[in-house]
Structure 1
Amino acid sequence: MNTDFSKIYINGAWKSGSGDRSIKNINPFNQEDILEIKPALKQDLDDAYKAAELAQVKWAKELPQVKRALLEKAVQIMDEQKEIFTDWLVKESGSTVFKAEAEYRAAMNVLKEAATFPYRMEGKILPSQTPGKENRVYREPLGVVGVISPWNFPLHLAMRSIASAIATGNSVVIKPATETPVTGGLIFASLFEAAGAPKGLVNTVVGRGSEIGDDMVTHKTPRLISFTGSTEVGRRIGKLAGGELKKTALELGGNNVFIVLEDADIEQAAESAVFGKFYHQGQICMAINRIFVHSSIYDQFAERFIEKAKELKYGNPAEADTKVGPLINRGQVDRILEDVNESVKQGAELRLGGKADGNVLEPTVLTGVTNDMPIAVNEIFGPAAALISFDSEEEVIEMANAMPYGLSGAVHSSSIEHATLVAHEIHTGMIHVNDQPVNEEPHMPFGGEKDSGIGRFNGEWALEEFTTVKWVSVQHNRRNYGPFFKS
């Protein structure tokens, strides 16, 4: 694999972007410059899309074993070059060693699942209302897919679109977040180049959203835009894509709930909540945003939750025992602290943390939170937990559904069936009983409702997203058009 990530990748060649103002790739923990990249401008993006369009025509016609072989080779290379992937996740995205290892495995599992897709491009033969006619439905690739990847889980969340697109006969142009240009984009160019991908099949353009963001969506070539990121940006992408009649797969923000019912196992629930809140510093679309606890066990749960949160080591993500590393930049730290401080002014009690050293925010816990405080209303996307009390299931269901998001969630109870009934009442794309909301499996549908996005990733649902169907009817016998030809 090529490990010089200072250039963009178009049509099988590493080249400098046309922009003059370099993009600096900065380690979020120690603020050291990792590398500089001359960014892509509109002409570079156009070149990438044109290369992808030419490559896709040939790639779509390749035999399924050829497509599968490319993906299997990529799996082999990832296995052999694991340290390249995990090291870059630590230094570029602020991942702890634990998170980098987990994200690497998740990306690998997505790639393995996608390798099965070439043999799952199933069609159908259906009856016809016309005598002598046979109806055939073929599943076909869309064409070129534009992938806009996020900075929080860049390797995993980009892989689920890139691998699915390639496996189903599409080509891709990737635009990674400028905070993670390598793990969200350039590392895929290197991986698939090493695996033997045809020129133009995989292209990566690193550029500022203000310079190429809109063109990434509105360019005439891509038929699907796959985006993972904020709801605000997702709305704009959806609007731009809709104006061009393009498909979108949008995985957006979340305000995920964690509900602890009166009969829950407090120890299990507290442990589950600490993981779901503080894993990767809470910078996960599925991370817990609001922890609802029945008033009868609220104080007991809060004590156990705080005790467990106190045990989390925070700081340098490169140290193997660190559980909470840095946020991606100082702006995120300041935004979260503002919500924490304003919520305290409104009556919440700061029980743990509330301070930052550089981009490292201590694990922070607030109790006495109400559903209308900033720490509950806003998507926190950081290591600050809000504990909210409730008295009845009707009340907690109403509060859970009050926000415009619906991505993931969790319900804890000693009665699995009871918890499942409550889970059904929460308007969300995914929810988990006696677990936490940060779950993804490569064969299960991943996606949200309401402001959390549209579309589904993974497994057979990814096959639907990254393909289209064509109806071909075959008239075996001469058709009688009835009185049309009678005078």
Structure 2
Amino acid sequence: MTRLIDLARTGGRVFSGGWREPAGGAAAVVEPATGAVLAEVGVADADDIDEAVRGAGIAQPAWQAVPPLERAAVLRRAAAVLTEHRDEAAEWLIRESGSIRGKAEYEVASTVDELWAAAALPMFPHGELLPDPAGRQSSARRVPLGTVGVISPWNVPLLLALRAVAPALVLGNAVVLKPDPRTAISGGHLVAAVFERAGLPGGVLHVLAGGPKAGAALVRNLGTDMIAFTGSSAVGRQIGAEAGGALKRVSLELGGNNALLVLDDADVEAAAAAGAWSSFFHQGQVCMAAGRHIVVESVADRYVDALCRHAAQSTVGDPWTDDVTLGPLIDVAQRDRVDRIVRESVAAGAVLREGGGHDGLMYRPTVLTGVTPSQPAFWEEIFGPVAPVIVVADEDEAVRVANRTEYGLVASVHTGSVSRGAALAGRLDTGIVHVNDPTIDDNAFVPFGGRGASGNGHRHGIGRNTDEFTQWQWLTLPGAG
């Protein structure tokens, strides 16, 4: 089978009116586990972005005019292409982003789901008949926005790019995608190659990896009608301010400092397993990771002991060559940030119960107890394999502590009573609540999104994407309706 990624043709290039060399030059893609150079990719500068937006604007009207079922067929073919090349896609996710194999395979499968779900969007009603006092035929219909700019992150690069790109395209928009240059292949070249193989018309999709200046150019350009951003809350605030000044739509899917609550009637062993998964999955580099384990005092000792066992039994190493539980952190800057938060928290009174060390980018799963609001482990989104434990007296204090954050993405409640968990969910200031499950969960069919510093209320998912990536147009025609 012919490989999907052909670096002899695409290496050092961006996908914008075909594969071309960018003005911004090129950069190496480095394997975090080994430091090996995997590929050379093109890096866009502001001029490259502006050229891509112009090209997208030219191509968009003809793409909008393509019958919806034909646009949907392109998405179905894209799903088939990615399915055929799922092993190759997983390989890039493992080597480029440090994913363990299970995470990589799950990400590819979830991305295929997103493509199939997006392909169904044109089948949904896209308008309404309205009453009209003048006796005209009056209707409201959803029409494309125009050109959508997508800025996607490095941690789940393929899924979090396609989650916005796929619905935006099938609903008639052109897209300019700027993936993070650290995962320019799995978050960019794969996307371009899949749609190129699926027969998407030229100029409708542009894929240009780049840094902050390229992202700023995409947000600033008046030719983008919407910006869909997934990343840090700090950058999201900047994008929101810039886009708001230009009166363009913006979707912000940002960070989290998520609470996993363990009540006095919980199955402690099951809760600890869920807690370990929630904090250590993909080295904690997930916006849904559990950043605070809030445990009622009567079960705290047993919970911490069980959580420490999970951390101690985890293996850390190169996920491409070894069967490990955790792979590397993405780079030295992220490793140093995680280590700083752990060291500063311990210096402020937290107790290091497990882990805390690293070998290169391989950071051991870490459990901190005695965590209080005076420590950075309480407030900051760690984005590393660290489980801070906060002990509380009862359920009411657990809720107060859980809500003591600017973030509002997800919470998980562990209890022996489902009805108790459901009632408590209504008291948590988050966009998502799970009962007796990990904090990390997502699929193509739910209204995924957060509140506060976790986002601006945008929701991804099959039932909401039409609202997000189209706009209303009121149409009247003479004569009786």
Task: Map residues 221-370 of structure 1 onto 2, 5 A cutoff.
Answer: 221-319=223-321, 321-370=323-372
Deviations, residues 1-32 of structure 1 (Å, cap 9, x unaligned): 34224233444411111124x32211111111
**Secondary structure of 2:69's aligned partner:** helix
Task: Tell me, in whole angstroms, the C-alpha distance in 2 between the residues paired with 1:226 and 1:144.
Answer: 11
Match of 1:19 among 12, 17, 24: 24
The aligned residue for residue 69 of structure 2 is 65
Query: What residue number does 1:373 align with?
Result: 375
Q: 1:245 to 1:354 in 2, by over 3 A?
A: same
- AA at the equivalent of 1:238: G
Aligned to 2:136: 133
**Deviation, structure 1 residue 143:** 0.8
Matched residue of 1:351: which SS? strand
Point out 4+ residue stretches in structure 1 off by more than 4 angstroms: none
- Find the counterpart in structure 2 of residue 480 from structure 1: none
Q: Helix, strand or coil: the match of 1:375?
A: helix
Structure 1 residue corresponding to 2:94, chosen from 90, 94, 97: 90
TM-score using structure 2 length:
0.96
* Residue equivalent to 1:209: 212
Q: Would you say how many aligned residue pairs link Structure 1 and Structure 2?
A: 474
The residue type equivalent to 1:56 in the other structure is: Q
| Gapped regions of structure 2 (runs ≥ 5) | none
Quick one: distance in 2 between partners of 1:109 and 1:393? 37
The CA RMSD measured in Å over matched residues stands at: 1.3
Which residue does the alignment assign to 2:465? 462
1:8 paired residue number: 13
| Bigger Cα displacement from structure 2, 331-340 vs 7-16 | 7-16
8 A Cα contact 2:14 2:42, kept in partner: no
Structure 1 match to 2:111: 107
Deviations 1:186-219 (A, max 9, x none): 2111110011110011111122213x22111011
Q: How far apart are the structure 2 equivalents of 1:54 and 1:19? A: 23
Aligned equivalents of 2:16 and 2:287: distance in 1? 33
The alpha carbon displacement at 1:371 in A equals 3.3
Q: Distance in 1 between matches of 2:356 and 2:68?
A: 54
Secondary structure at 2:39 match in 1: strand
Which amino acid is the alignment partner of residue 252 of structure 1? L
Note the 1:365-404 alignment, pairs <5 A. Answer: 365-404=367-406
Give the letter for the 1:396 counterpart. Answer: A
Report if the CA contact (8 A) 2:140-2:474 is conserved. Answer: yes
Deviations 1:268-290 (A, max 9, x none): 11111111111100100001000
Percent of matched pairs sharing the same residue: 39
Distance 2:6 2:329 in 1: 25
Gaps of 5+ in 1: 478-487
**Residue in 2 that maps onto 1:197:** 200
Q: Is the 8 A contact 1:312 1:324 kept in 2?
A: yes
In the alignment, which of 169, 188, 192 is matched to residue 185 of structure 1? 188
SS at match of 1:225: strand
- Of stretches 5-14 and 281-290 in structure 1, the one that deviates more from structure 2 is 5-14
Give distance in 2, aligned partners of 1:99 and 1:324: 10
1:223 Cα deviation from its structure 2 partner: 0.6
Q: Which amino acid aligns with 2:269?
A: E
Alpha-carbon distance between aligned partners in 2 of 1:320 and 1:432, rounded to the nearest angstrom: 32
Partners of 2:136 and 2:478 within 8 A in 1: yes
Question: Could you tell me whether the CA contact under 8 Å between 1:121 and 1:139 is conserved in 2?
Answer: no
Question: Given that residues 230 and 254 in structure 2 are in contact (C-alpha distance below 8 angstroms), is that contact kept between their aligned partners in structure 1?
Answer: yes
Query: Is 1:32 aligned with 2:36?
Result: yes
Is the CA contact 1:371–1:399 (under 8 Å) kept in the aligned structure 2? no
**Native 8 Å contact 2:311 2:355 kept in 1:** no
* Superposition deviation, residue 228 in structure 1: 0.3
Structure 1 CA distance, aligned partners of 2:168 and 2:96? 25
Give a deviation string over 1:439-484, Cα, whole Å, max 9, x none.
111010011000101211111211111111111123427xxxxxxx
5 Å-filtered alignment, 1:432-471, equals 432-454=434-456, 455-471=458-474
Task: Using structure 1 for the length normalisation, give the TM-score.
Answer: 0.95
